[in-house]
Structure 1
């Protein structure tokens, strides 16, 4: 067990952590903070909810406060989604409150010129999605020649959605001599290769196994036909005593279809995915977190920005193609010591995905 006052020495940061009720450090924070302060590259394997954002933000903030602060960006954090981008930038603001450090979030849906102005007026941290950042760089609206630290968060998801070429292009605009921190929920061969290309002798930190699922989560599978999924979903929601329900689909079209079907059947539901306007997505996530919306349908891509401890049930309307994504989805319930419930629908064509999931987690889902 470790506490933040043992890992962080800056009094302003400690004061901010106390206001946020952050006292005890998680495993990845305990292991990662000292290494990052020393300037080591990190290859971190951690699921969402393990505290990895604080594990890299806190020592980077402290290192900057201990040096001469300039108006040139020195830390670049790349993430796969706008929601995660905003979430991390909000954390930086909270941890560095009262200091001269400045940060900005760069993502699609906002005019290029406004984002470029933010950077050029002077920031220390840039949190960005690769596509939008690359647009600014190619248009020569910004320069990143002062970057000293590169953070790749949710690296596995960035590779899954085809951002590897954008990442390679961005590397051409930042110094080769830098500290690189890479975080991933899973460790496929593609991530190991990415680490070899981007990092130099990184310290490897793994705080949870890829197959780790809380014992507080009860997992069940319904074997059904594709045309039975919607009626089955409706019946489960009507029969179960639930709080907040998070439904996962593999595509944006299916997410919309599910939300429309449930709403037409007097079950108020919202869907979020990358085609929805940013303001609409933010509103839905906030309403879900506040309990004003009980049911939210999401694709894996945008679900990374949902951090709600009170999700009582997860339903996999579609089984994920990658088994590691199942662990990530199910981990959205049963958090903070609460019990959780996870249902999965499986058609004949999805049996191959179910087999991979059960092999990964080392057990079978209970049939319903």
Structure 2
């Protein structure tokens, strides 16, 4: 549901007030409410993707407000509830010529961005990897005439767990003034049944501005004798706002056998930090980074992973006893 302008005929003084006029007033009021809320949430004019989490559906038609929907033959598009959040999804039933569908955003005015458009952030995952998903950016002229498009995500090897992406928008036509974003789940040229989920759509300028905050978070000491990566203790970190973030922190690792190597890394969901190793029996401190995580909830869970080298039995110990954790929002 987008904004619908009033016609001169609808506001003539001698016209009776009809239900359709009040309906338009109500729909426009709700549209503008969410548009203003979206901009205020971002703190700048750069939060211009209306209904970026696809959750608002005021007329309950199973189509996110400020987006339009197309369904392929046999396809369905609807909301699913995952961890108390509404997530939009397309289901491909299988069968030649069938598919899921796609959502297309309202026009996004490029003049509202500070700098040149560079990246698009989104969250996507499917129930089966082999389903075909796409994310497409369409370019339009000042008169909203279609110019061309860039397919920035096109895959039949999709994640089967929630994953954040940042894709380069690519070459922009010189005379483009608007863009639209198209989210394709279960494209019909590939006959693979499954469901694809989308959320967290954000457009980022190439001239990044950042805001940083320091939070306190520790992970208790834990150990393992596993020779493959295994989760060993975690911490939940509350965050005040949604957005794209980089996370940096120090943690410690040691081994109980100087002839064997202990390794440590961290993850948030399926996104992993850098890895560090040691043969020291005393704790060694290392710096870890997890970058380009799109946060779409009020907290994140930071999970420690440990692993020992194959060979004689020994334990790997790890912890995050230094509370300081740097959170950098990329606006």
TM over 0.5: no
Interval containing the TM-score (normalised by the shorter chain): under 0.3
**How does the TM-score come out when normalised to structure 1?**
0.26
Structure with the largest fraction of helix: 1
- TM-score, normalised by the number of residues in structure 2: 0.28
Radius of gyration: which is bigger?
A: 2
Between Structure 1 and Structure 2, the one with more strand by share is 2
